[in-house]
Structure 1
Amino acid sequence: MKVLRLFTSGLVLLASQHVFAQQEQSKSSAQELANKLANPVASLISVPFQNNVDWGIGPLEGSKYTLNFQPVIPIKLSKSLNLITRYILPIIDQYNITGQGEHQFGLSDATVSAFFAPANPKNGFIWGVGPALLIPTGTQAALSTKKWGAGPTVLLLKQGKANTVGFLANQIWSYAGDENRSAVNQLFAQPFYTHNWPTGAGVGVNAEMTFDWQHKNTTAFLNPTASGVTKLGKQPIQFAVGPRIPVLGPRESKADFGLRGVLIFVF
């Protein structure tokens, strides 16, 4: 009986160590995945659905819902260089923006970016640089610039075990399109910070700023979020929620308040 008790105790100890090791491995994998998703040029296929709702827009107190479909597809060019392609296709549903009682629903213009980035970053420093394209996919005049545009895009970030801090920007100039529509000349800048725990839970904040040089105005939002990593069946996902705080904007288009919710499928 004593031998049996010792044997049973040994099995329980080994089982508990195995479960603990699995939990630690799971936590490590969750944090690693969260860190990769915090890096816009990570070699990882992801499909984010970013939902933004803004209320109290302009003098008509309009509302606007924007679903940004944002797949990220990496392409390995060599052992030392990757090409990370990012696509942003907005779907918009808005009320009382262009006029009292007016409603628009449909696609807005797409932005496609391609970052050449090192496959093996050193000391946590990561960079990416390449072209950005504006494609007039908008299905209604109020949702589109009706212009083709292009320009450079750049990303710089420093990533540690838990913290990611970085800066993304692109400058786009229009070069073709509807001659009756205003030219596009704008800079988009996004500083960001994220902290992830071993469980995959995280907090972060970014500022999204658009400098419209053509019309001499600036729009800025502050977006703090809380996030987590989990699975739907066998499918790894990340979700994030938080307020969308308008900081700057012209009176005719500035919102009073907003919310953001993000669901990311990882492959």
Structure 2
Amino acid sequence: MKSIRSYNIITFWFGIFCFILTFYAYAQDEAKPSASAQELADKLANPVASLISLPLQNNLNYGIGPYNGVKYTINVQPVIPFKLTDNLNLITRYVIPVIDQRNITGLNTHEFGLSDATVTAFFAPKSKKLIYGIGPAFLVPTATEKLLGTEKFGVGPSALIMHQSKGLSVGFIANQIWSVAGNEDRADFNQFYTQIFLSHSYKSGASLGLNAEITQNWEGKTTLISLNPSIGGITKLGNQVVQFSVQPLIPVAGPQSIKPDWGLRAIVAFVFPES
């Protein structure tokens, strides 16, 4: 009970802090950011935009499994583009999870550490109409605790298709990864993930959005679906451009063993616009 109370306190103040920062960004004078802030918001909504960024995605989920577990995950997600030709970019995206979880693997249990990383490389032709990217996705066994990872190395295809006009972004991103090496005593990894997203940006750099995340574990025969509305904004902390957003995580479907009762996501993204 003590640990759950602590998480409740952390969640409350963490949510208040993120909402204050987000609405501070919303309230910035529109004459200052002007169209450039909206353009930046649109680029950040495009997973294959040629833009260096460092998002820190904080996820807090409650009521997981038979012991009402609590799981906090911070995904460190740098995005680094490379220009291959005048018409082709290579966009590399990294997801490095750090997990702190209680009562997930059993009653009164606690695990903390790195989980497995996912690395994706999109080959993205420059296009003003239909934006797309394809490339490989890799599962890298970087977990520091056995119960936080798969002990498997995996690979598979990834793809993105989206349409974007000024202020509007809609599309999906997906990958399918199979394990190809690793600890033979651990279960094989065979998982499909997709995110379908819609967002609308404003001149101030503020944005409203909605996305659905679907994770299909073919090996475990489980499907997890969540619906996540979002509100965000762009501002500056000193000279550093930063985007903030908050999202309630609304579980739609999934087995009781992995489906949370509810969750909260807050993202702080450090943005490095082209000079």
TM-score by length of 2: 0.87
Classify 1:23/1:214 alpha carbon distance in 2 versus 1 (closer, same or farther; 3 Å): closer
Q: Which residue is equivalent to 2:220?
A: 215
Q: Which residue is equivalent to 1:133?
A: 138
1:187-224 CA deviation, whole Å, 9 max, x = no partner? Answer: 10110001001110111111111111111110111111
Q: Shift of the alpha carbon at 1:105?
A: 0.2
Return the letter of the residue paired with 1:176: A
Q: Shift of the alpha carbon at 1:115?
A: 0.2
Q: Shift of the alpha carbon at 1:24?
A: 4.4
Q: Shift of the alpha carbon at 1:248?
A: 1.6
Q: Which residue is equivalent to 2:110?
A: 103
* SS at 1:29 equivalent: helix
Return the letter of the residue paired with 1:63: V
1:115-164 CA deviation, whole Å, 9 max, x = no partner? Answer: 00013x133x1000000000000111110011000000000000010110
Matched, 1:205 2:188: no
Given candidates 119, 122, 128, the residue that maps to 1:122 is 128
Q: Shift of the alpha carbon at 1:90?
A: 0.3
Q: Shift of the alpha carbon at 1:60?
A: 0.3
Q: Which residue is equivalent to 1:88?
A: 95
Return the letter of the residue paired with 2:74: L
Distance 2:32 2:173 in 1: 32
| 1:144-163 alignment, distance < 5 Å | 144-163=149-168
| 1:1-267 alignment, distance < 5 Å | 24=31, 26-119=33-126, 121-123=127-129, 125-267=130-272
Alignment RMSD: 1.1
Return the letter of the residue paired with 1:109: D
Q: Shift of the alpha carbon at 1:23?
A: 5.5
* SS at 2:180 equivalent: strand
Structure 1 vs Structure 2: percent identity of aligned residues? Answer: 57
Return the letter of the residue paired with 2:110: H
* SS at 2:35 equivalent: helix
* SS at 1:77 equivalent: strand
How many residue pairs get matched? 244
Unaligned runs of 5+ in 2: 1-28
TM-score by length of 1: 0.90
Distance 1:23 1:213 in 2: 48
Distance 1:58 1:146 in 2: 23
Distance 1:92 1:185 in 2: 21
- Stretches (4+) displaced over 4 A: 22-25
Distance 2:191 2:113 in 1: 23
Unaligned runs of 5+ in 1: 1-21
Return the letter of the residue paired with 1:189: T
Distance 2:208 2:162 in 1: 17
* SS at 2:51 equivalent: coil
